[in-house]
Each structure stands twice: as C-alpha cells, then as structure tokens.
Amino acid sequence: MPPRFTLARSIDPDYPTNRAILLLTLAVLAGGVIVTLLSGAAIPGSIIAAVSGAASFFLAWALGRELDPDEEYAAFVSAGLMAGALLLFPLPDPVTALFAVLLLRTVNRTSGLPTQVLDSVVLLLIAAWPLMQGYLLAGAAMAAALLLDGLLSRPNRLQPGFALLALLETGFFAASGPGITVDPIVPAAGGALLLGSLLYLAVIGRSQSVTTTGDRTQKRLSPIRVQSAQVLVLSWAFLSAVIGGETAFVAMLPIWAGIVGTGMYRVTVHLTSQ
C-alpha cells in the first residue's frame, strides 16, 4: 500500500463556502497583479507578489477553518483581515502559514484519520523553511505537536520519535543558521496582540463541545485534540511575536488573521445572541 498523506483536506468546489473562497482567492490574485503592475513592478515580480498575497489570503481562511472547526463562516473573517493586512504590511510568509495549517491538523485530526509516517516527514521538511529564517520556536512547536499526537486519544506511537527528530532539526539550524530572531515587540503592539489572544480564548473554551466530524470518518473530533492544537498555535504565535517583534509578526500575519478573525467572530456571535 502506498504511503498516505492524511494531513491533506479536499476542497469540493460544489460546496458554497469552498466555492466562495476559491473565487475570492482568484480575485485577490488578479487584484494583486494589477496593483503591483500599476506600481511599476516588472511582470515576473508582479506575478510572484500576487501569488504570495493570494496564497496568504487563502491560508488565512484555511487556518480559520482549523482554528475553529465548528464555525465555517469565521474563516471568512480571518480571510478579510488578511486582505486588509495585505494593503498595510509587507508580504507575509505563506510557507510558514502552510506549516501552521499542517501543525494544527497533526494534533486536531480534522481529516478524521490518524497521522502516518509521510505526514511527519512532510512536516519536518516544511519546518526547515521557518527554521532557516531564524524562527526557532517553529521547531519547538513542531516537537510539541508531534509529542501531543503521540500522547492524546488514539495516539500515534511513532510520534515521540519524530518529536525528537524535530528537536534535532531545530538544534541543527540553531547551530548553523542565523540563530533565533530577537527583536522585542513594542509595548503598544504587544498589547494589541494580547487583546487578540484574549478574544481567541472564547474559541478555545467553546471547543470543549466541538461537534464537527472528521472529513473521512464522519466521527466527532476529539475536544481535547482540538483544544490542544488551538493552545499550541496561539502560544507559538504569541511568543514568536513577543520575541521576534514586527518581523516575526509580519511573517506570521495569516496565522494572526486566523486567530483574531475566529476570536472576533465568536465574541460577536455571543454578544449578538444575548
């Protein structure tokens, strides 16, 4: 039997919200090309920048779906925040956002299937990118995700070994790379991130009664797995921004859009239902 990649989730364009995000992503891509061309950029550079922006927009939506599996419309708030951020900040790092998506799926198992060796290998390979940029906390987050997957319900007993490999990979880049990126964030920005994190606590609390089922099994997701994934990514994003400052924050903009967008949606729904 060929190895399976269980961290992948299909996007059925016949499903209304999936079709909507695909069309919106194409619109962001087209808009990005037009804006960068009008700014005087060369065609190759315009296309690369537009693809990066569109990928970040789509991944903010994907992160929203993973960060709050029960609320599919919350992901569109995350995508909207990302669209606004693309107008205000430099381009983020879509590879690190993809890494975050896979990190969440490793723990919460939204596909419904237990992880396989191929999943862990792909995660280790993609992690090389943020580690090369000096974001060593990504390695610690990866090790924690793999360890959690090996300890929580229906554990993958191979994962503690992969967690050790994740630490070794992190150590290698720490020794051979630029070292950890340190640029403490200014207090005002730190306060804003703290507020965004507090909003997301509403999502974590509500996930105790998660009702979403796995894509391929139709069995209810494990609340402890969903909440563990949420706490892990929130902690990683917050510590990365506090230590790495604006550079780390901008690189992780799709992740923050996912966190803040889902938190805003949950709090708004709660307040309007009173």
pLDDT at 6 over 60: yes
Token digits of residue 43: 């065609």
Looking at residue 176, its pLDDT comes to 86
Q: What is the pLDDT of residues 207-230, one digit of tens each?
A: 999 999 998 898 999 999 999 999
Which among 16, 9, 218, 24 is positioned nearest to 104, based on CA atoms? 9
Does 129 or 40 have the greater pLDDT score? 129
Cβ neighbours around 268 below 10 Å, total = 14
pTM for the whole structure: 0.94
Q: Where residue 4 falls among pLDDT bands split at 50, 70, 90?
A: confident
Q: What is the pLDDT of residues 67-107, one digit of tens each?
A: 999 999 999 999 999 999 999 999 999 999 999 999 999 99
Q: Where residue 2 falls among pLDDT bands split at 50, 70, 90?
A: low
**What average pLDDT does range 164-172 have in this prediction?**
97
Does 267 or 1 have the greater pLDDT score? 267
Rounded to an integer, what distance in angstroms lies between the CA atom of residue 2 and that of residue 10? 19
Mean of pLDDT over the chain: 93
Rounded to an integer, what distance in angstroms lies between the CA atom of residue 151 and that of residue 108? 13
pLDDT at 1 over 60: no
Q: Domain-by-domain residue ranges, the chain?
A: 11-111+181-273
Cβ neighbours around 28 below 10 Å, total = 21
In degrees and rounded to multiples of 5, residue 20 shows phi and psi of -65, -45
HSE at residue 211, side-chain half, CA atoms within 13 A, is 3
